[in-house]
Amino acid sequence: MRKILKGRPTSYGLRAAPVQALVLAAVLTLASSAQVSARALRLVVLGDSLTAGFGVPPGKAFPDQLQAALKAKGLDVAVVNAGVSGDTAEDGLTRYGWSVPPETDALIVELGANDMLRGFPPEMTKKALAAILDKAKAAGVPVLLAGMKAAPNLGPEYDRAFDAIYPELAKSSGAILYPFFLEGVAGDPKLDQPDGLHPNTAGIAAIVQRILPDVEELLKRIGH
């Protein structure tokens, strides 16, 4: 894992009467929903090497396996791999504008592992992740926040502060929380690569099966 316009609102033409405005809003909502249903949903995974697919064959990274699992359930979802090996939460925030395009329907945020491994202050990681969640919320994009846990060698004080980041942010932002991205995989030699940090192909498959119900819940939030 290396790495808005203030002021008096104006418009052309006449202002719609209240009832007309309500009807117009309903029509626009239906039109927007129709546009989404007419194409595959776009789910972007903004992450680090755990998303990018470090050390696994092409087509076997987390986004690839997640897309296949969703397709097997009859869900037409294009899962976009926006993972960059070595990225910190701040790195993810910096490239948010081009990594999460306007046509994004839903977002999974998987960042923070590199911050932890480098011993970054937890408040720094939390601030960057909060900014990412704010951007998604402003765009009306529902989010699943994939959590990370601190390594025990960093000490109990650091562990408490870092591990608290994800549940606190999910609560304040309304994002769906998947507490620990590597749940059931971390520390298992059968599911880890030799470096002990990255999941192998089987490990990623295990992650997908565990996180799938939360991803399905995320997709239900699109347009709401």
Return the CATH number at 184. 3.40.50.1110
Number of domains into which the chain is organized:
1
Catalytic residue among 64, 188, 198, 224: 198
Q: Is there a domain that residue 204 lies in? A: yes
- Burial zone of 26 (CB within 10 Å; 0-12 exposed, 13-18 middle, 19+ buried): exposed
Q: Is there a domain that residue 178 lies in? A: yes
Catalytic residue among 49, 85, 99, 173: 49
Q: Is there a domain that residue 29 lies in? A: no
Q: What is the pTM of this model?
A: 0.83
Is 199 within 8 Å of 50 (Cβ atoms)? yes
Residue 200 domain boundaries: 47-220
**pLDDT (tens digit, 9 = 90+) per residue, 61-104?**
999 999 999 999 999 999 999 999 999 999 999 999 999 999 99
Closest CA to 1 of 157, 113, 89, 118: 113
Q: What stretches of the chain show up as alpha helix (H) in DSSP? A: 18-37, 49-52, 62-72, 89-94, 96-99, 113-117, 122-138, 156-163, 165-173, 201-220
Structural tokens at position 12: 């052309």
Q: Is there a domain that residue 51 lies in? A: yes
Q: Is 195 a catalytic residue?
A: yes
Q: Is there a domain that residue 92 lies in? A: yes
Q: Which residues of the chain have pLDDT under 50?
A: 2-37
Q: Is 85 a catalytic residue?
A: no
Instruction: Give the pLDDT confidence score for residue 3 in this predicted structure.
Output: 39
Q: Is there a domain that residue 38 lies in? A: no
- The label of the residue with tokens 């601190």 reads 150
Q: Is there a domain that residue 16 lies in? A: no
Instruction: Give the pLDDT confidence score for residue 11 in this predicted structure.
Output: 29
Instruction: Report which DSSP code applies to 152.
Output: G
Q: Is 37 a catalytic residue?
A: no
Instruction: Give the pLDDT confidence score for residue 38 in this predicted structure.
Output: 57
Q: Is there a domain that residue 37 lies in? A: no
